Chain A
Amino acid sequence: MAHVPEELLYSEEHEWVSGELAEDSVVTVGITEHAAEALGDIVYVELPAVGDSVSSGEVCGELESTKAVSEMYSPVTGEVVAVNEELSDAPETIGEDAYGEGWIFRVRLAEEPSGLLDSEAYAKITE
Protein backbone atom coordinates (compact mmCIF):
# COMPACT_ATOMS: atom_id res chain seq x y z
CA MET A 1 0.00 0.00 0.00
CA ALA A 2 1.42 3.36 -1.02
CA HIS A 3 2.29 5.82 1.72
CA VAL A 4 0.09 8.96 2.09
CA PRO A 5 1.71 11.38 4.57
CA GLU A 6 -0.80 13.13 6.85
CA GLU A 7 0.88 16.52 6.70
CA LEU A 8 0.44 17.00 2.93
CA LEU A 9 -2.50 17.99 0.76
CA TYR A 10 -3.38 16.25 -2.50
CA SER A 11 -5.03 16.73 -5.87
CA GLU A 12 -7.27 14.20 -7.56
CA GLU A 13 -4.61 13.98 -10.29
CA HIS A 14 -2.19 12.47 -7.73
CA GLU A 15 0.01 15.48 -6.96
CA TRP A 16 0.96 16.48 -3.43
CA VAL A 17 1.42 20.00 -2.09
CA SER A 18 3.38 21.08 0.97
CA GLY A 19 3.76 24.56 2.53
CA GLU A 20 1.57 27.38 3.67
CA LEU A 21 -1.47 27.80 1.45
CA ALA A 22 -1.73 31.59 1.30
CA GLU A 23 -1.34 34.07 -1.55
CA ASP A 24 2.38 34.82 -2.20
CA SER A 25 3.67 31.91 -0.15
CA VAL A 26 5.80 29.25 -1.87
CA VAL A 27 4.63 25.63 -1.96
CA THR A 28 6.41 22.47 -3.11
CA VAL A 29 4.72 20.05 -5.52
CA GLY A 30 5.41 16.42 -6.37
CA ILE A 31 3.55 13.29 -7.39
CA THR A 32 2.31 10.74 -4.88
CA GLU A 33 3.83 7.36 -4.21
CA HIS A 34 0.63 5.83 -5.57
CA ALA A 35 1.13 7.65 -8.90
CA ALA A 36 4.83 6.78 -9.03
CA GLU A 37 4.09 3.10 -8.40
CA ALA A 38 1.45 3.04 -11.11
CA LEU A 39 3.90 4.49 -13.65
CA GLY A 40 6.75 2.11 -12.85
CA ASP A 41 10.35 3.17 -13.51
CA ILE A 42 10.28 6.83 -14.47
CA VAL A 43 12.96 7.48 -17.11
CA TYR A 44 12.13 11.04 -18.19
CA VAL A 45 10.51 14.05 -16.57
CA GLU A 46 9.54 17.11 -18.55
CA LEU A 47 9.61 19.94 -16.03
CA PRO A 48 7.97 23.34 -16.25
CA ALA A 49 10.43 26.24 -16.54
CA VAL A 50 11.19 28.71 -13.79
CA GLY A 51 9.03 31.76 -14.47
CA ASP A 52 6.20 29.76 -16.07
CA SER A 53 2.68 30.51 -14.96
CA VAL A 54 0.83 27.38 -13.93
CA SER A 55 -2.89 26.99 -13.29
CA SER A 56 -4.64 24.58 -11.03
CA GLY A 57 -5.83 21.52 -12.99
CA GLU A 58 -3.80 22.33 -16.10
CA VAL A 59 -0.98 20.32 -17.66
CA CYS A 60 2.50 21.59 -16.72
CA GLY A 61 4.79 18.70 -17.61
CA GLU A 62 4.96 14.98 -18.21
CA LEU A 63 6.36 11.85 -16.64
CA GLU A 64 7.50 8.97 -18.80
CA SER A 65 8.21 5.41 -17.71
CA THR A 66 9.08 2.37 -19.81
CA LYS A 67 5.47 1.30 -19.43
CA ALA A 68 3.52 4.50 -19.91
CA VAL A 69 3.50 8.26 -20.09
CA SER A 70 1.46 10.52 -17.87
CA GLU A 71 0.78 14.23 -18.01
CA MET A 72 1.50 16.18 -14.86
CA TYR A 73 -1.14 18.64 -13.70
CA SER A 74 -0.45 21.62 -11.49
CA PRO A 75 -2.48 21.37 -8.27
CA VAL A 76 -2.13 25.13 -7.65
CA THR A 77 -2.11 28.47 -9.51
CA GLY A 78 0.91 30.76 -9.51
CA GLU A 79 4.45 31.22 -10.83
CA VAL A 80 7.09 28.50 -10.90
CA VAL A 81 10.03 29.71 -8.79
CA ALA A 82 12.13 26.53 -8.73
CA VAL A 83 12.30 23.13 -10.43
CA ASN A 84 14.13 20.04 -9.28
CA GLU A 85 16.96 19.96 -11.85
CA GLU A 86 18.34 16.76 -10.31
CA LEU A 87 15.44 14.91 -11.94
CA SER A 88 16.87 15.47 -15.43
CA ASP A 89 19.71 13.07 -14.72
CA ALA A 90 18.03 11.02 -12.01
CA PRO A 91 14.29 10.76 -12.77
CA GLU A 92 14.22 7.53 -10.75
CA THR A 93 14.45 9.68 -7.61
CA ILE A 94 10.68 10.21 -7.85
CA GLY A 95 10.08 6.49 -7.46
CA GLU A 96 12.60 6.20 -4.65
CA ASP A 97 11.51 9.19 -2.56
CA ALA A 98 8.29 10.69 -3.95
CA TYR A 99 7.67 12.99 -0.96
CA GLY A 100 11.29 14.08 -0.37
CA GLU A 101 14.17 14.22 -2.85
CA GLY A 102 11.67 13.49 -5.62
CA TRP A 103 9.89 16.86 -5.33
CA ILE A 104 9.23 18.34 -8.78
CA PHE A 105 8.65 22.11 -8.66
CA ARG A 106 7.92 25.06 -6.36
CA VAL A 107 5.22 27.65 -6.99
CA ARG A 108 4.62 31.15 -5.56
CA LEU A 109 0.87 31.06 -5.12
CA ALA A 110 -1.22 33.67 -6.98
CA GLU A 111 -4.26 32.69 -4.95
CA GLU A 112 -5.18 30.46 -2.08
CA PRO A 113 -5.76 26.97 -3.55
CA SER A 114 -9.14 25.34 -3.27
CA GLY A 115 -10.35 21.82 -3.75
CA LEU A 116 -7.25 20.04 -2.41
CA LEU A 117 -7.80 16.82 -0.48
CA ASP A 118 -6.47 15.86 2.94
CA SER A 119 -4.60 12.57 3.31
CA GLU A 120 -7.68 10.65 4.36
CA ALA A 121 -9.73 11.83 1.36
CA TYR A 122 -6.83 11.16 -1.02
CA ALA A 123 -6.23 7.68 0.39
CA LYS A 124 -9.90 6.92 -0.33
CA ILE A 125 -9.67 7.72 -4.04
CA THR A 126 -6.64 5.47 -4.44
CA GLU A 127 -8.29 2.46 -2.82
Chain B
Amino acid sequence: MNSAPLRSPLHDEHVALGATLVDFAGWEMPVRYSGDIAEHTAVRTAAGLFDLSHMGELSVRGAEAEAFLDDALVGRMSAVALGGAKYTMLCAADGGVIDDLIVYRRDWDHYVIVANAANRDAVAAELAERVEGFDADVEDISDDIALIAVQGPAAEAIVQRMTERGADDVEAMKYYASAPILLAGGIHAFVARTGYTGEDGFELFVGADEAAAVWQLALAEGAADGIVPCGLSSRDTLRLEAGMPLYGHELTRETTPFEAGLGRVVVFGTEKNPRGDFVGRAALESARDAWNAALADPAAAGGEKTLVGLVGDGRRAARAGYSIVDESGASVGTVTSGAPSPTLGKPIAMAYVPLALASEGTAVHVDVRGRRESMTVTALPFYKRTA
Protein backbone atom coordinates (compact mmCIF):
# COMPACT_ATOMS: atom_id res chain seq x y z
CA MET B 1 0.00 0.00 0.00
CA ASN B 2 1.24 3.48 -0.81
CA SER B 3 2.10 5.63 2.18
CA ALA B 4 0.65 8.80 0.65
CA PRO B 5 -3.10 8.39 0.14
CA LEU B 6 -4.34 8.02 -3.41
CA ARG B 7 -6.77 10.71 -4.52
CA SER B 8 -9.76 10.47 -6.78
CA PRO B 9 -9.90 12.80 -9.82
CA LEU B 10 -12.93 14.23 -7.96
CA HIS B 11 -10.95 15.12 -4.83
CA ASP B 12 -11.39 18.88 -5.30
CA GLU B 13 -15.15 18.43 -5.77
CA HIS B 14 -15.36 16.57 -2.47
CA VAL B 15 -13.40 19.25 -0.63
CA ALA B 16 -15.56 22.00 -2.17
CA LEU B 17 -18.70 20.14 -1.00
CA GLY B 18 -17.34 19.95 2.56
CA ALA B 19 -17.02 16.17 2.60
CA THR B 20 -15.47 14.35 5.54
CA LEU B 21 -12.62 12.37 4.01
CA VAL B 22 -11.26 9.09 5.37
CA ASP B 23 -8.69 6.53 4.40
CA PHE B 24 -10.25 3.64 2.50
CA ALA B 25 -8.01 0.93 1.05
CA GLY B 26 -5.22 3.49 0.67
CA TRP B 27 -7.52 6.10 -0.87
CA GLU B 28 -8.66 9.37 0.63
CA MET B 29 -12.40 9.16 -0.03
CA PRO B 30 -15.57 10.88 1.24
CA VAL B 31 -17.22 9.01 4.11
CA ARG B 32 -20.08 11.53 4.12
CA TYR B 33 -21.07 14.99 2.90
CA SER B 34 -24.23 16.07 4.75
CA GLY B 35 -25.15 13.11 6.94
CA ASP B 36 -25.27 9.34 6.66
CA ILE B 37 -29.02 8.96 7.12
CA ALA B 38 -29.94 11.86 4.80
CA GLU B 39 -27.68 10.39 2.11
CA HIS B 40 -29.07 6.88 2.63
CA THR B 41 -32.66 8.13 2.48
CA ALA B 42 -31.99 10.20 -0.64
CA VAL B 43 -30.95 7.05 -2.51
CA ARG B 44 -34.06 5.18 -1.33
CA THR B 45 -36.45 8.01 -2.23
CA ALA B 46 -34.79 10.21 -4.88
CA ALA B 47 -31.17 9.87 -5.99
CA GLY B 48 -27.62 9.78 -4.72
CA LEU B 49 -24.33 10.52 -6.48
CA PHE B 50 -21.28 8.39 -5.62
CA ASP B 51 -17.62 8.67 -6.51
CA LEU B 52 -16.33 5.13 -7.00
CA SER B 53 -13.05 6.12 -8.60
CA HIS B 54 -11.14 4.14 -5.98
CA MET B 55 -12.38 0.90 -7.56
CA GLY B 56 -10.03 -0.91 -9.89
CA GLU B 57 -10.69 -1.25 -13.61
CA LEU B 58 -8.86 -3.75 -15.76
CA SER B 59 -9.17 -3.97 -19.51
CA VAL B 60 -8.87 -7.36 -21.20
CA ARG B 61 -8.37 -7.35 -24.96
CA GLY B 62 -7.40 -9.90 -27.53
CA ALA B 63 -8.62 -12.64 -29.83
CA GLU B 64 -8.63 -15.08 -26.87
CA ALA B 65 -10.03 -12.66 -24.29
CA GLU B 66 -13.14 -14.79 -23.76
CA ALA B 67 -11.22 -18.07 -23.60
CA PHE B 68 -8.85 -16.50 -21.08
CA LEU B 69 -11.65 -15.21 -18.83
CA ASP B 70 -13.51 -18.52 -19.06
CA ASP B 71 -10.36 -20.12 -17.67
CA ALA B 72 -9.58 -17.44 -15.09
CA LEU B 73 -13.02 -16.73 -13.55
CA VAL B 74 -15.70 -18.96 -12.02
CA GLY B 75 -18.42 -17.61 -14.34
CA ARG B 76 -18.63 -18.16 -18.08
CA MET B 77 -17.72 -14.84 -19.67
CA SER B 78 -18.03 -16.23 -23.23
CA ALA B 79 -21.78 -16.43 -22.55
CA VAL B 80 -22.09 -12.72 -21.80
CA ALA B 81 -23.72 -10.84 -24.69
CA LEU B 82 -22.19 -7.70 -26.18
CA GLY B 83 -23.10 -4.84 -23.91
CA GLY B 84 -23.92 -7.23 -21.09
CA ALA B 85 -22.39 -7.57 -17.65
CA LYS B 86 -21.93 -10.39 -15.17
CA TYR B 87 -21.28 -10.57 -11.45
CA THR B 88 -18.53 -13.14 -10.92
CA MET B 89 -15.54 -14.11 -8.80
CA LEU B 90 -11.84 -14.68 -9.11
CA CYS B 91 -11.07 -17.75 -7.02
CA ALA B 92 -7.78 -19.32 -6.00
CA ALA B 93 -6.91 -22.89 -7.00
CA ASP B 94 -8.10 -23.95 -3.52
CA GLY B 95 -11.52 -22.35 -4.14
CA GLY B 96 -11.05 -19.35 -1.82
CA VAL B 97 -12.41 -16.05 -3.13
CA ILE B 98 -9.69 -13.58 -4.20
CA ASP B 99 -12.24 -10.94 -5.22
CA ASP B 100 -15.77 -10.51 -6.46
CA LEU B 101 -16.00 -8.67 -9.75
CA ILE B 102 -18.34 -7.22 -12.30
CA VAL B 103 -17.25 -7.99 -15.85
CA TYR B 104 -18.62 -5.84 -18.68
CA ARG B 105 -18.41 -7.09 -22.24
CA ARG B 106 -17.55 -4.12 -24.43
CA ASP B 107 -16.83 -5.99 -27.66
CA TRP B 108 -16.19 -9.50 -28.98
CA ASP B 109 -12.59 -9.20 -27.94
CA HIS B 110 -12.81 -6.62 -25.17
CA TYR B 111 -13.96 -6.84 -21.53
CA VAL B 112 -13.68 -4.40 -18.63
CA ILE B 113 -13.41 -5.85 -15.14
CA VAL B 114 -14.27 -3.83 -12.04
CA ALA B 115 -12.47 -4.99 -8.89
CA ASN B 116 -12.58 -3.82 -5.28
CA ALA B 117 -10.09 -1.08 -4.46
CA ALA B 118 -8.35 -3.16 -1.81
CA ASN B 119 -7.93 -6.08 -4.23
CA ARG B 120 -6.92 -4.16 -7.34
CA ASP B 121 -3.26 -5.19 -7.20
CA ALA B 122 -4.03 -8.79 -6.24
CA VAL B 123 -6.50 -9.15 -9.11
CA ALA B 124 -4.11 -7.52 -11.60
CA ALA B 125 -1.27 -9.80 -10.51
CA GLU B 126 -3.42 -12.94 -10.60
CA LEU B 127 -4.83 -12.16 -14.06
CA ALA B 128 -1.36 -11.31 -15.39
CA GLU B 129 -0.28 -14.79 -14.34
CA ARG B 130 -3.37 -16.57 -15.68
CA VAL B 131 -3.23 -14.82 -19.08
CA GLU B 132 0.06 -16.57 -19.92
CA GLY B 133 -0.45 -18.67 -23.05
CA PHE B 134 -3.59 -16.83 -24.18
CA ASP B 135 -3.68 -14.33 -27.02
CA ALA B 136 -4.95 -11.55 -24.77
CA ASP B 137 -3.62 -8.61 -22.77
CA VAL B 138 -4.62 -7.40 -19.33
CA GLU B 139 -4.14 -3.72 -18.58
CA ASP B 140 -4.84 -1.88 -15.32
CA ILE B 141 -6.67 1.25 -16.55
CA SER B 142 -7.83 2.43 -13.10
CA ASP B 143 -5.82 5.63 -13.13
CA ASP B 144 -7.36 6.76 -16.43
CA ILE B 145 -10.96 6.02 -15.43
CA ALA B 146 -13.35 7.75 -13.06
CA LEU B 147 -16.38 5.73 -11.98
CA ILE B 148 -19.43 7.75 -10.97
CA ALA B 149 -22.71 6.17 -9.83
CA VAL B 150 -26.18 7.72 -9.94
CA GLN B 151 -28.47 5.55 -7.82
CA GLY B 152 -32.10 5.80 -6.78
CA PRO B 153 -35.61 5.89 -8.22
CA ALA B 154 -34.89 9.20 -10.01
CA ALA B 155 -31.61 7.92 -11.52
CA GLU B 156 -33.06 7.08 -14.93
CA ALA B 157 -34.59 10.54 -15.41
CA ILE B 158 -31.40 12.25 -14.22
CA VAL B 159 -29.04 10.24 -16.43
CA GLN B 160 -31.34 10.84 -19.39
CA ARG B 161 -31.12 14.59 -18.79
CA MET B 162 -27.33 14.31 -18.64
CA THR B 163 -27.14 13.00 -22.20
CA GLU B 164 -26.48 14.79 -25.45
CA ARG B 165 -27.25 11.61 -27.40
CA GLY B 166 -28.53 8.28 -26.14
CA ALA B 167 -31.36 9.31 -23.80
CA ASP B 168 -33.56 6.59 -25.31
CA ASP B 169 -30.79 4.03 -24.84
CA VAL B 170 -30.68 4.98 -21.15
CA GLU B 171 -34.42 4.39 -20.81
CA ALA B 172 -34.31 1.09 -22.72
CA MET B 173 -31.25 -0.21 -20.85
CA LYS B 174 -31.98 -3.37 -18.87
CA TYR B 175 -30.50 -4.25 -15.48
CA TYR B 176 -26.87 -5.38 -15.96
CA ALA B 177 -26.79 -3.98 -19.51
CA SER B 178 -24.56 -1.17 -20.74
CA ALA B 179 -24.02 1.14 -23.70
CA PRO B 180 -21.82 3.99 -24.89
CA ILE B 181 -23.64 7.28 -24.23
CA LEU B 182 -22.69 10.81 -25.25
CA LEU B 183 -23.11 13.16 -22.31
CA ALA B 184 -23.77 16.91 -22.52
CA GLY B 185 -20.67 18.79 -23.56
CA GLY B 186 -19.63 15.97 -25.88
CA ILE B 187 -18.26 13.75 -23.11
CA HIS B 188 -18.04 10.06 -23.99
CA ALA B 189 -19.25 7.78 -21.22
CA PHE B 190 -19.71 4.05 -20.92
CA VAL B 191 -22.93 3.70 -18.94
CA ALA B 192 -24.11 0.53 -17.19
CA ARG B 193 -27.32 -0.16 -15.30
CA THR B 194 -25.54 -1.63 -12.29
CA GLY B 195 -25.09 -0.63 -8.68
CA TYR B 196 -24.58 -1.58 -5.07
CA THR B 197 -27.50 0.04 -3.30
CA GLY B 198 -30.58 -2.13 -3.94
CA GLU B 199 -32.11 0.65 -6.04
CA ASP B 200 -32.33 1.22 -9.75
CA GLY B 201 -29.28 3.12 -10.90
CA PHE B 202 -26.40 3.62 -13.28
CA GLU B 203 -22.63 3.54 -13.16
CA LEU B 204 -20.81 5.91 -15.53
CA PHE B 205 -17.25 5.18 -16.66
CA VAL B 206 -15.63 8.39 -17.89
CA GLY B 207 -12.13 9.64 -18.49
CA ALA B 208 -10.42 10.87 -15.31
CA ASP B 209 -9.91 14.34 -16.85
CA GLU B 210 -13.67 14.63 -17.49
CA ALA B 211 -14.76 13.38 -14.08
CA ALA B 212 -15.34 16.81 -12.54
CA ALA B 213 -17.51 17.94 -15.48
CA VAL B 214 -19.65 14.77 -15.25
CA TRP B 215 -19.96 15.10 -11.45
CA GLN B 216 -21.13 18.71 -11.78
CA LEU B 217 -23.48 17.76 -14.60
CA ALA B 218 -25.11 15.07 -12.43
CA LEU B 219 -25.55 17.49 -9.53
CA ALA B 220 -27.03 20.16 -11.82
CA GLU B 221 -29.37 17.84 -13.73
CA GLY B 222 -30.35 15.99 -10.57
CA ALA B 223 -31.04 19.06 -8.44
CA ALA B 224 -34.74 19.14 -9.32
CA ASP B 225 -35.07 15.50 -8.19
CA GLY B 226 -33.17 16.10 -4.96
CA ILE B 227 -29.92 14.32 -5.84
CA VAL B 228 -27.32 14.44 -3.05
CA PRO B 229 -23.66 13.42 -3.06
CA CYS B 230 -23.23 10.27 -0.96
CA GLY B 231 -20.21 8.90 0.86
CA LEU B 232 -18.90 5.47 1.77
CA SER B 233 -20.90 5.33 4.99
CA SER B 234 -24.31 5.44 3.27
CA ARG B 235 -23.00 3.16 0.52
CA ASP B 236 -22.29 0.56 3.20
CA THR B 237 -25.72 0.73 4.89
CA LEU B 238 -27.44 0.71 1.48
CA ARG B 239 -25.64 -2.45 0.32
CA LEU B 240 -26.15 -4.09 3.72
CA GLU B 241 -29.93 -3.52 3.57
CA ALA B 242 -29.84 -4.94 0.04
CA GLY B 243 -28.03 -8.05 1.34
CA MET B 244 -25.08 -7.52 -0.98
CA PRO B 245 -21.73 -8.99 0.10
CA LEU B 246 -18.66 -6.86 0.72
CA TYR B 247 -15.26 -8.40 0.11
CA GLY B 248 -13.27 -8.69 3.33
CA HIS B 249 -16.51 -9.14 5.26
CA GLU B 250 -18.88 -11.69 3.71
CA LEU B 251 -16.30 -12.89 1.17
CA THR B 252 -12.70 -13.84 1.95
CA ARG B 253 -9.99 -16.26 0.87
CA GLU B 254 -11.34 -18.61 3.54
CA THR B 255 -14.95 -18.51 2.30
CA THR B 256 -16.40 -20.54 -0.56
CA PRO B 257 -19.08 -19.00 -2.81
CA PHE B 258 -21.47 -21.74 -1.60
CA GLU B 259 -21.29 -20.72 2.06
CA ALA B 260 -21.88 -17.12 1.00
CA GLY B 261 -25.10 -18.12 -0.76
CA LEU B 262 -23.49 -17.33 -4.11
CA GLY B 263 -23.05 -20.84 -5.51
CA ARG B 264 -24.99 -19.78 -8.58
CA VAL B 265 -22.07 -17.65 -9.82
CA VAL B 266 -19.90 -20.77 -10.14
CA VAL B 267 -20.71 -22.32 -13.52
CA PHE B 268 -19.70 -25.98 -13.85
CA GLY B 269 -21.69 -26.52 -17.03
CA THR B 270 -24.30 -29.16 -17.82
CA GLU B 271 -24.38 -32.27 -19.95
CA LYS B 272 -25.98 -30.32 -22.79
CA ASN B 273 -23.80 -27.27 -22.26
CA PRO B 274 -20.54 -28.50 -20.79
CA ARG B 275 -17.79 -26.28 -19.49
CA GLY B 276 -14.10 -27.08 -19.47
CA ASP B 277 -11.60 -26.58 -16.71
CA PHE B 278 -11.12 -23.26 -14.94
CA VAL B 279 -8.90 -22.17 -12.08
CA GLY B 280 -10.32 -23.57 -8.84
CA ARG B 281 -12.72 -25.99 -10.54
CA ALA B 282 -11.68 -29.17 -8.71
CA ALA B 283 -11.68 -27.49 -5.29
CA LEU B 284 -15.00 -25.79 -5.96
CA GLU B 285 -16.59 -29.08 -7.07
CA SER B 286 -15.52 -30.64 -3.78
CA ALA B 287 -16.84 -27.61 -1.90
CA ARG B 288 -20.15 -27.86 -3.76
CA ASP B 289 -20.49 -31.59 -3.04
CA ALA B 290 -19.69 -31.10 0.64
CA TRP B 291 -22.15 -28.25 0.77
CA ASN B 292 -24.96 -30.24 -0.89
CA ALA B 293 -24.30 -33.18 1.44
CA ALA B 294 -24.47 -30.88 4.46
CA LEU B 295 -27.74 -29.37 3.26
CA ALA B 296 -29.21 -32.84 2.70
CA ASP B 297 -28.25 -34.00 6.19
CA PRO B 298 -27.51 -31.03 8.48
CA ALA B 299 -27.22 -33.33 11.51
CA ALA B 300 -24.22 -35.07 9.96
CA ALA B 301 -22.72 -31.84 8.60
CA GLY B 302 -19.12 -31.11 9.49
CA GLY B 303 -19.45 -27.60 10.84
CA GLU B 304 -20.51 -25.97 7.56
CA LYS B 305 -21.59 -22.38 8.06
CA THR B 306 -23.88 -20.31 5.95
CA LEU B 307 -24.54 -16.62 5.52
CA VAL B 308 -27.79 -15.37 7.07
CA GLY B 309 -29.47 -12.09 7.87
CA LEU B 310 -30.11 -11.04 11.47
CA VAL B 311 -32.57 -8.45 12.72
CA GLY B 312 -32.03 -7.19 16.26
CA ASP B 313 -34.86 -7.19 18.78
CA GLY B 314 -33.26 -4.35 20.76
CA ARG B 315 -31.46 -1.19 19.74
CA ARG B 316 -27.80 -2.14 20.03
CA ALA B 317 -26.36 -3.22 16.68
CA ALA B 318 -24.09 -6.19 16.06
CA ARG B 319 -20.93 -5.10 14.26
CA ALA B 320 -18.42 -6.95 12.09
CA GLY B 321 -16.41 -9.45 14.11
CA TYR B 322 -18.88 -9.89 16.97
CA SER B 323 -19.68 -13.47 18.00
CA ILE B 324 -22.98 -15.31 17.94
CA VAL B 325 -22.99 -17.20 21.23
CA ASP B 326 -24.82 -20.21 22.63
CA GLU B 327 -26.34 -20.56 26.10
CA SER B 328 -22.93 -21.15 27.68
CA GLY B 329 -21.49 -18.07 25.97
CA ALA B 330 -19.35 -20.09 23.53
CA SER B 331 -18.98 -18.62 20.04
CA VAL B 332 -20.95 -20.50 17.38
CA GLY B 333 -20.87 -17.94 14.56
CA THR B 334 -19.53 -14.59 13.45
CA VAL B 335 -21.09 -11.32 12.36
CA THR B 336 -19.56 -10.09 9.10
CA SER B 337 -21.37 -6.72 8.74
CA GLY B 338 -23.88 -4.90 10.91
CA ALA B 339 -25.43 -1.50 11.51
CA PRO B 340 -28.63 0.18 12.59
CA SER B 341 -30.73 0.08 9.41
CA PRO B 342 -31.93 3.56 8.44
CA THR B 343 -34.81 2.11 6.39
CA LEU B 344 -36.00 -0.52 8.90
CA GLY B 345 -35.22 1.47 12.03
CA LYS B 346 -33.72 -1.66 13.63
CA PRO B 347 -30.26 -3.19 13.86
CA ILE B 348 -29.47 -5.53 10.98
CA ALA B 349 -26.48 -7.76 10.33
CA MET B 350 -25.12 -10.47 8.10
CA ALA B 351 -23.46 -13.40 9.83
CA TYR B 352 -22.06 -16.87 9.31
CA VAL B 353 -23.89 -19.41 11.46
CA PRO B 354 -24.00 -23.25 11.53
CA LEU B 355 -26.71 -24.76 9.31
CA ALA B 356 -28.63 -25.79 12.44
CA LEU B 357 -29.18 -22.10 13.27
CA ALA B 358 -29.83 -20.92 9.73
CA SER B 359 -33.61 -21.31 9.42
CA GLU B 360 -35.67 -18.17 9.23
CA GLY B 361 -37.10 -17.23 12.59
CA THR B 362 -34.36 -18.87 14.65
CA ALA B 363 -33.58 -16.82 17.75
CA VAL B 364 -29.88 -16.24 18.37
CA HIS B 365 -27.78 -14.17 20.75
CA VAL B 366 -24.94 -11.90 19.74
CA ASP B 367 -22.24 -10.78 22.16
CA VAL B 368 -22.40 -6.99 21.73
CA ARG B 369 -19.46 -5.64 23.72
CA GLY B 370 -19.95 -8.03 26.60
CA ARG B 371 -23.74 -8.08 26.70
CA ARG B 372 -25.98 -10.55 24.88
CA GLU B 373 -28.49 -9.05 22.46
CA SER B 374 -31.24 -11.21 21.00
CA MET B 375 -31.65 -11.26 17.24
CA THR B 376 -33.72 -13.25 14.77
CA VAL B 377 -32.52 -15.01 11.63
CA THR B 378 -34.15 -13.35 8.62
CA ALA B 379 -34.16 -13.92 4.88
CA LEU B 380 -31.85 -11.72 2.81
CA PRO B 381 -32.19 -9.07 1.54
CA PHE B 382 -33.55 -6.93 4.35
CA TYR B 383 -34.81 -4.41 1.82
CA LYS B 384 -36.19 -4.95 -1.66
CA ARG B 385 -37.39 -2.07 -3.80
CA THR B 386 -41.01 -2.35 -4.86
CA ALA B 387 -40.92 -0.66 -8.27
Residues in A lying within 8 Å of B, measured CB to CB: 37, 40-41, 43-44, 46, 62, 64-67, 69, 71, 95
> For A66, what are the chain B residues with a Cβ–Cβ distance below 8 Å?
36-37, 40, 233-234, 237, 339-340, 342
> For B264, what are the chain A residues with a Cβ–Cβ distance below 8 Å?
none
Instruction: Please provide the 3 A-B residue pairs with the shortest distance between their CB atoms, ordered closest to farther.
Output: A41-B37, A67-B233, A40-B36
Given contacts A40-B233, A44-B340, contact A65 B36 (CB under 8 A): yes
> For A44, what are the chain B residues with a Cβ–Cβ distance below 8 Å?
315-317, 340
**Residues 325-341 of chain B, each 1 if its beta carbon lies under 8 Å from chain A, else 0:** 00000000000000110
> Would you call the interface of chain B mostly helix, strand, loop, or mixed?
mixed
Q: Is there a chain A Cβ closer than 8 Å to B384's Cβ?
A: no
> Would you call the interface of chain A mostly helix, strand, loop, or mixed?
strand
Pairs A–B under 8 Å by Cβ, sample size 14 = A41-B37, A41-B38, A43-B37, A46-B316, A64-B317, A66-B36, A66-B40, A66-B339, A66-B340, A67-B31, A67-B233, A69-B316, A69-B319, A71-B369
Q: Is there a chain A Cβ closer than 8 Å to B54's Cβ?
A: no
Q: Is there a chain A Cβ closer than 8 Å to B35's Cβ?
A: yes
B-side interface residues, number (CB < 8 Å): 20
A81 CA to B342 CA, complexed, in Å: 33
> For A43, what are the chain B residues with a Cβ–Cβ distance below 8 Å?
37, 340
Interface pair A62/B32, CB less than 8 Å apart: no
**Chain A nearest CB: distance from B37 CB in Å?**
4
Interface pair A62/B369, CB less than 8 Å apart: yes
Q: A41 touches which one: B35, B236, B316 (CB < 8 A)?
A: B35
Enumerate B235-257 residues with CB–CB distance to A below 8 Å: 236-237
> For A46, what are the chain B residues with a Cβ–Cβ distance below 8 Å?
316
Q: Tell which of A37, A40, A65 has the most Cβ of chain B within 10 Å.
A: A40
> For B342, what are the chain A residues with a Cβ–Cβ distance below 8 Å?
66
